[in-house]
Structure 1
Amino acid sequence: MKTNDLIFQTVTKVVVFIIIIYSLHLFFSGHYTPGGGFIGGLMSASAIVLLLLAFDIKTVVNTLPIDYIKMTATGLLIALLTGIGSFFFDVPFLTHTFSYVDLPVLGKTSLATAVLFDLGVYLVVIGVTMTIIQTIGETE
Structure 2
Amino acid sequence: MKKTHVKTNDVIFQPVTKVVAFIIIIYSLHLFFSGHYTPGGGFIGGLMTAAAFVLLLLAFDVKTVEKTLNVDYIKMTATGLLIAVLTGLGSFFYNVPFLTQTFSYVDIPLLGKTALATAVLFDLGVYLVVIGVTMTIIQTIGETE
Letter in 2 for 1:33: T
Matched, 1:26 2:38: no
Following superposition, the deviation at residue 2 of structure 1 comes to 3.7
Match of 2:97 among 92, 105, 127: 92
Q: Secondary structure at the match of 1:6?
A: coil
Letter in 2 for 1:45: A
- Corresponding position of 1:128: 133
For residues 64 and 2 of structure 1, what CA distance do their matches in structure 2 show?
24
Following superposition, the deviation at residue 112 of structure 1 comes to 0.2
Letter in 1 for 2:65: V
Q: How does 1:71-82 map to 2 (within 5 A)?
A: 71-82=76-87
The CA deviation string for residues 5-57 of structure 1, in whole angstroms up to 9 with x for no partner, is 11000001111111111100000000000000000000000000000000000
Letter in 2 for 1:34: P
Following superposition, the deviation at residue 62 of structure 1 comes to 0.5
Letter in 2 for 1:102: D
Q: TM-score, normalised by structure 1?
A: 0.97
Matched, 1:61 2:61: no
Q: How does 1:99-114 map to 2 (within 5 A)?
A: 99-114=104-119
Match of 2:123 among 113, 118, 136: 118
Q: What's the RMSD between the two structures over aligned residues?
A: 1.0
Following superposition, the deviation at residue 74 of structure 1 comes to 0.4
Extract unaligned runs of 5+ from structure 2. 1-5
Matched, 1:12 2:14: no
Letter in 2 for 1:67: D
Letter in 1 for 2:134: T
The CA deviation string for residues 56-75 of structure 1, in whole angstroms up to 9 with x for no partner, is 00100000111101100000
Identity of aligned residues (%): 86
Q: Secondary structure at the match of 1:78?
A: helix
